[in-house]
Amino acid sequence: MPARKKSGRKYGKGASKSVESAMRRKKSGTLRSGKGGKGGKVKSRKQAIAIGLSEAREKGAKVPPNRSSRKKK
């Protein structure tokens, strides 16, 4: 019988707060893409979530590494 995987949170509370904040900024129209928010206005929900997770990573919250960097290794 194979060993069962431990159940644990994949994302920390800080990550969900960061994504929540990004979604609010998207709805109000102030969320912008690019380094330092110098890009265009974010229109898609997925992009807003990605920005929120990226900000959470920078703050040091518990977030798994993004897929593109995982594939390169």
Q: Where are the domains of the chain?
A: 13-63
Least confident of 2-16, 23-37, 55-69: 2-16
Is 0.75 topped by the overall pTM?
Answer: yes
Distances (CA, A) of 30 to 14, 25, 33, 44, 54: 21, 5, 10, 13, 17
Q: pLDDT tens digits for 16-60?
A: 999 999 999 999 999 999 888 889 999 999 999 999 999 999 999
What pLDDT score does 19 carry? 95
Instruction: Tell me: pLDDT of 15 over 70.
Output: yes
